[in-house]
Structure formats: structure tokens, C-alpha cells
Structure 1
Amino acid sequence: MPRLIAVVGPTATGKSALGLALARHLGGEIVNADAMALYRGLDVGTAKPTPAERAEVPHHLLDVLDVTETASVAAYQRDARAAVEALLAAGRTPVLVGGSGLYVQSVVDDLEFPGTDPVLRAELETELAAHGPGALHARLAAVDPAAADVVLPGNGRRIVRALEVIALTGRPFPARLPAGVVPRYDAVLVGVDRPTDELDARVARRVARMFAAGIVDETRALEAAGLRDGLTASQALGYRQILAGGPMSTAAADTVRATRRFVRRQRSWFRRDTRVHWLDAAAPDLLGRALALSS
């Protein structure tokens, strides 16, 4: 029987290439686990697979949101699990590929994510815009002191989510992931990484390719389609720096720095999971090692 394989790790390590190779060899299909690749039009900056690659190996959960929509882990979890379970039922190998740690864990583990209420969310976001995150954080501290200790006072979006969950469920906000979560699938987690100096150089080259490949024009077109209004999509690396204005050389340099910081956060997230089998992304027999783990 096929198993779920998750290919995880920091940006620019080569996860997509390994995921495609595994899917080809195992008769599988890719399930995207990159939060920003959910968005239509965020193509250059997310290094989406080419049309040829998508024609050769089916991909799921790419291009499913408009840039004005807010991504939801709960919605992603529902749709990704549906894709995984349909593939397993059909005897196909689902290959979950991406560096969004919470999205990966929402699939492979039994985590519960409360839903959303658009009206309540809109009310809280209006209040956030009018009064700032400090006022909402004070309210959070009054109703859930433990959550307020974890959620930063300046993180308006997370404060809004905490207040929304508390109002919807009548329970405290789960600001930290629960310990000892139960795996949902007999999954194999394959991590790929590279030495920090090497990965820093790869990030710089990746950003240079993004700007050469037209991310500025792509951003301007998406801006006309409402990118600035998208709470999630507007924060995508590269796009956020271009939207900030100023010389594009500055935007590119800022993107490199922001991506390197993101890489370190990704590495920290995935290294905490002792189930991940780490492989050197530069190893000449990388595919063979990953296939051995998957058998």
C-alpha cells in the first residue's frame, strides 16, 4: 500500500525537485504545502512548478485562492487531507511538499483548528485598524492571560485570531501547539537541508532569478487585482518588499535578508520534529536515499 511522504525543510534547499522525482518513481502526485503557493498569480516569487512539470505529475492545492482571500490553516487541512486520502484510496502515493511547518503538521498529525466567522473577523479587524493591536491585546489579556503571554502585543493578526477563537469556542486560545500530538497517517517525513553558508548563497541566487524573471511586473499586475488588500498574500517574500516602494535594488536586498531569516525559522520548526529523516540536499544519491526511507 502507498504511504504519505512529506518532503520538508527550508526554502531553496531543493524540496520541489526531490518531491517531483519521488512522485515520478513512485507513481505519485504532489500535494502543495507552501502557504503562498495557494495563491493564483504568486508564481515567480514562490517558484511554482512549470506547466510541463504540472502536466507530467499532477499537483494539488496550487492556485486555489485569489490574492484578496485570507489563507486558513483549517481550510487547508480539510482540502489537503481530502487530496491525500483520495490518492491513498486510489493506490497513488501522495507526496506532500513544502516549507510551511504548520501546514505540513496540520496534515500529518491530528490537530484541531477552529473555524472562522467572517462577520466576527471583520468586526475585530475593523477594531484593529481603528485602535491598534495594543487595545486588542489588553482585551485578550483580560479574557485569556495565558494566550496573551504567548501572543506578541504587536501581532495584530494573531491577536484577532485569538479573540475570534475564544468567542467562537468559549475556550482558551491554543497559542502553542499541543504536546504529544497523534500522527494521522503512517507517514514518512523526509527533510532536506544544506549548510548555512551554502543555503545563504542559494537564497541570493534565487532572489536574483526572481527579479530577472519578472517578479516586479507580476507584483504590479497583482496590485491592480487587489494584492495590497490581501492580508496573507501581500506578505509573501519578494512581493511585500516590492510593495513597500523604493528602488528595486533595495527591494531585492531586503528580500534576501528576509528570506534568510525565514530559512532559520523553518529550520528551527522542522528540527524540533524527531520523526524527520534529514538528508543532505547536495548528496549525489539524494533520490536513492529518499526512496530507501519511503519503502
Structure 2
Amino acid sequence: MPQHTQDSKTQDSPPNAESLHLRFTQALHSLADKALDSKPKIIAILGSSGSGKTALAHSVALQKGCEIFSLDSLGIYKGFDIASAKPTILEKTQVCYHALDVLSPSEKSNAMLFFTLLCECILQLKPNTPLLIVGGSSFFLKSIIEGLSPMPNLQGYEGWLESLGELKEQYAFLHSIDTYYANKIAPQDTYRIHKALSLYKATQLKPSEYFATHKPTPFPLHIEIFALDKPRDELRADILKRSQKMIEQGIVEETKEVLESYGEGILPLNAIGPKECVAFLQGKITSLQSLQQELFFHTCQLAKRQATFNRTQFPKISLLSKHDLQKELDKLLSI
């Protein structure tokens, strides 16, 4: 069933650091109210990179009149169409997609943004329209289901963080003010260390104290969770084809354009795909054949981590073959 292309709606507008928390709070409260009188059917289709979950979801959405929420940490950025395997222009005229092309490459993504976008997406769904949550960044889904603590604005503390020294010294400072919380974070985890220190600076509370007094609010609606399970050899063969196709489609040229516009210090260039292309453009990878091998190898590693995460972090997940998943989705969406 063809659907409209997504316009520039409020839920997919770029977030302002000062307003994201307000948007998050408002959307969550509105969704909690909606949960009392209307419970839209929400189904998550997870799976490793290259498993075919996106194509499957598009086919199901087309047949059953679903909309799709993209759970992709790279797809949320503009400029990475090939690297994140975004739906084509034609596919976006057939099915309404959400959470794509929300951020410029220089902006930062986080779980609260995905949580907010998902709430806002569900709030504007037409009656009886199912939503498919599809993507490989399932750690965001785990955060959404378990809930997030309300957060103050953590922007503006970059200078203070730099004054503490390099990452090693920053981690040591965090350890000195909150040993319990620091022990939960890897010393190399730049994002979480900076977030914890900025939270301390903003609130004058230890991160462990802040989270103890600001409990997360769980997602108020039920999400049925599936993962597309594919035999290892078959998945590796598909990843190899995917790596070849991306190079043929122009992932190197796409990455070069972003690199020239924003510089190499931006977060999405650390993702698998863009990261290897940057190395190729800098001469660290010397041939397209070697680039393809690197893309294949690192994507296989990522796929293994994704499969392990999905299997161990969601207690009520169903791991199904493509055939069995199609049958299950058909049954669920026919009720």
C-alpha cells in the first residue's frame, strides 16, 4: 500500500541542545496519555548489518501499510546515503520513513534524540497505522525501552573539560569525584566520560547521585521485538556483496564530500564505512581492493557484535529466519 513521502515535520527537525530535553519531556508525557486510549502496533525488526532487515521491512510496510522508524546511528545524518544504505528516492515515495537525515554531520546524536523522535513519530501516526522500528543500532532501542533519566543541557562545558587535560586525566578526575560511576565506564569511553563530567559541572552532583534521584521513565507502549537471523556463511557472503556494491555506488566520493565540508573530526566519520574511506583518501589504504577487504572485515566484526547484543540484551526477542519472520509479521499485522 503506497504511502506519502515524509515531509519536514517537527519530529524530524534538527535538535537544539537547549530544547531537546523539553521536547523529550513533552513527547513522553503526550505519549503516556496516548497509551491510555490508543495503542498503536509497534514492531522492532533488528538484525546484523547486511542481514537484509531493511529490505524485508520495506516489503512488509508496502504490503501492510506500515510506516518505518529508522534506528540507525549513521542514517540519522545527512550526507551518508550510501554508507548507511538509506532507502532510495523511490522507496521513500512508497513508504513513510522517519529519523533519516535529521542531523548535519557536525552534530551529535544520542539516545535521548532517538527516544524523542520515536515518541513524536508515534504521536503523529494515523489511526490503525502500524510502525516498524528497523535498524542495527539496537543499543538505542534498549535505552528507549528501559527509559532515560531527564537531563539538563550539557552543552558549553568543552573548555572546562579541556582544562582537565587529556582523556586519561579527565577519567582520573571522574574517578576522584565518583569512583562508583567511573568504574562502570571504560577509561577509553570518551562520550560517557565527557557526559558524566558535564553532568557533574551542570548539577554539582556526582553522576551516581544524579541518576539515583532522577529515575528513568520507561517507554509507555509495548514493542514486539524480532531479529532477522541468518546463517553465518550466508551473512558473510551478503556482507561481501554489500561492500562491493557500496564502492561501486560511490561511498568513497560520498565520504570525500563530507570530509572536505566538515573535516575529519566529526563523529559519523568514525562509523564503519566512512572510517575506512577516510583511511583510503589519506593513503593509509592503498587500493580499492584493500578498501573492500577492510569494509568486509570490519562489517563482519560489527555484525557479530550486533548479533550478540540482540541475543543477550532483549529477554523477549524472537530470533527468526527470513521465511519465519515474514510469516510472523504477516500474522501480527493481519490482526
Q: TM-score, normalised by structure 1?
A: 0.87
Q: Do 2:228 and 2:325's aligned partners in 1 also have CA atoms closer than 8 Å?
A: no
- CA shift, 1:98, in A, is 0.8
Counterpart in 2 of 1:84?
122
Pairing partner for 2:269 from 234, 237, 248: 234
Matched, 1:141 2:195: no
Pairing partner for 2:234 from 169, 176, 198: 198
Q: Do 2:255 and 2:277's aligned partners in 1 also have CA atoms closer than 8 Å?
A: yes
Give 3-state SS (helix, strand or coil) of 1:66's partner.
coil
Matched, 1:219 2:255: yes
Moved more, 241-250 or 47-56: 241-250
Counterpart in 2 of 1:243?
278
Counterpart in 2 of 1:162?
196
User: Structure 1: any 5+ residue segments left out of the alignment?
Assistant: none
Q: 1:227 to 1:107 in 2, by over 3 A?
A: farther
Q: Which amino acid aligns with 1:136?
A: Q
Matches within 5 A, 1:268-283: 268-272=308-312, 273-281=314-322, 283=323
- CA shift, 1:67, in A, is 0.6
Matched, 1:188 2:224: yes
Give the distance between the partners of 2:120 and 2:54, measured in 1 at CA.
21
Counterpart in 2 of 1:36?
74
Q: 1:92 to 1:107 in 2, by over 3 A?
A: farther
Give 3-state SS (helix, strand or coil) of 2:193's partner.
helix
Pairing partner for 2:156 from 119, 123, 135: 119
Counterpart in 2 of 1:289?
328
Q: CA RMSD in A?
A: 2.4
Question: For residues 54-80 of structure 1, what are the alpha-carbon distances to aligned partners after superposition, in whole Å with 9 as ceiling and x for unaligned?
Answer: 000011110111111111221221122
Counterpart in 1 of 2:136?
99
Higher gyration radius (CA): 2
Q: How many residues get paired?
A: 284
Q: 1:186 to 1:155 in 2, by over 3 A?
A: closer
Pairing partner for 1:16 from 54, 61, 66: 54
Pairing partner for 2:294 from 254, 270, 278: 254
Q: Do 2:154 and 2:195's aligned partners in 1 also have CA atoms closer than 8 Å?
A: no
Q: Do 1:132 and 1:156's aligned partners in 2 also have CA atoms closer than 8 Å?
A: no
Give 3-state SS (helix, strand or coil) of 2:162's partner.
helix
Give the distance between the partners of 1:36 and 1:110, measured in 2 at CA.
22
Counterpart in 2 of 1:153?
187
Give the distance between the partners of 1:223 and 1:79, measured in 2 at CA.
27
Give 3-state SS (helix, strand or coil) of 1:228's partner.
coil
Give the distance between the partners of 2:149 and 2:64, measured in 1 at CA.
30
Give 3-state SS (helix, strand or coil) of 1:38's partner.
coil
Give the distance between the partners of 1:158 and 1:260, measured in 2 at CA.
26
- CA shift, 1:109, in A, is 4.0
Give the distance between the partners of 2:92 and 2:184, measured in 1 at CA.
40
